[in-house]
Amino acid sequence: MSHRPLEDTIAQPVGTTLERYIMRTQSEFPYATGELSQLLRDIALAGKIVSREINRAGLAEVAGAFGQQNVQGEQQQKLDVVANIRFIRALTNGGQACAVLSEEEDGIVHTGNVQGKYVVAIDPLDGSSNIDVNVSIGTIFSIYRRVSPYGAPATEADFLQGGRRQIAAGYILYGSSTMLVYTTGHGVVGFTYESSLGEFFLSHPRMIIPETGSIFSCNEGNWHDYPEYVRDYLTRCKERRCSGRYVGSLVADYHRNLLVGGIYLYPPTQKNPDGKLRLLYESFPLAFVIEQAGGRAEAGPGRGRVMDLIPTHFHQRTPLFTGSYSLVDELLGMETT
């Protein structure tokens, strides 16, 4: 008597690991020589460590403010510092990144890997002010092939190439589960972390954002500082009974809309006429992902697509309107209607 049906029931396949997926799809990577594969593994490793630190934050006394401000003039949280150290250390030890640009650092962090072919721009822990109230937060990253000579330190030009020169980008969401989502320019894939096995497993093999949706995500507390076209658009959303969903963590709000359809808005305001989100390590990578998922990312009427913006300095800011294609398209038409 065969026991195969019972065996199939009690020993179901666990799925495709990140490692196996990278090996299978390495031919899609630019220059396909293995370095980019290793770089993604390094980011995933740091993400596992940060996920652990977040999950034990209350017990390990690493929640709360660090007592200093970062280069943005924002209050650093203890986990901001922890995440920054973890990612820089992983990228340094991995050997493939010659330099890192972090939200938490004033300038380029040189890893000493002068033969490394890549540079990484990263927001190590976005939304960290939500740590103390147990709301989802995330990491955002962008990878470029360096343009400076091998064997020499990285330069400013390596990071100011523009969004179209990204060869990979993505984010890690630390929520009810930890997810790694990324693109190398061949669609968007998502991996969910299985902590008991210490592995990321492929859970979302082809992430496509719906053409439209019924969710808008923005801080309505800034309503009176928003441009008129944004207020008009939000009024239209409310008139058709769309749902407002906003937790104040960019990765969390963005991820929800990627899965179910919607629009995320971070408009210019009177206080921040050029927007508030950082171009290199927030808007560029998320724009790359959303375009690969069939969505749209714009800086606003007259400003152009986010991916086409030309960066001039490391911590440059921009407005961001991103999500389902038809919703962003509708917003862009509001200024002239």
Name the binding residues for Mg(2+): 103, 123, 125-126, 282
> Is the distance from CB of 65 to CB of 74 less than 8 angstroms?
no
3-state secondary structure of 232: helix
Type of residue found at 100: V
Cα of 293 vs its chain's centroid, Å: 14
Cα separation, 186 vs 241, in Å, equals 35
* Residue in the structure block whose two tokens are 């082809």: 206
Residues annotated in the binding site for substrate, as ranges? 126-129, 219, 246, 264-266, 276
Binding-site members are 103, 123, 125-129, 219, 246, 264-266, 276, 282
3-state secondary structure labels for all residues of the chain: CCCHHHHHHHCCCCCCEHHHHHHHCHHHCCCCCCHHHHHHHHHHHHHHHHHHHHHCHHHHCCCCEEEEECCCCCEEEHHHHHHHHHHHHHHHHHCCEEEEEECCCCCCEECCCCCCCEEEEEEEEECHHHHHHCCCEEEEEEEEECCCCCCCCCCHHHHCCCHHHEEEEEEEEECCCEEEEEECCCCEEEEEEECCCCEEEEEECCCCCCCCCCEEECCHHHHHHCCHHHHHHHHHHHHCCCEECCCCCHHHHHHHHHHHCCEEEECCCCCCCCCCEEHHHHHHHHHHHHHHCCCEEECCCCCCEHHHCCCCCCCCEECEEEECHHHHHHHHCHHHC
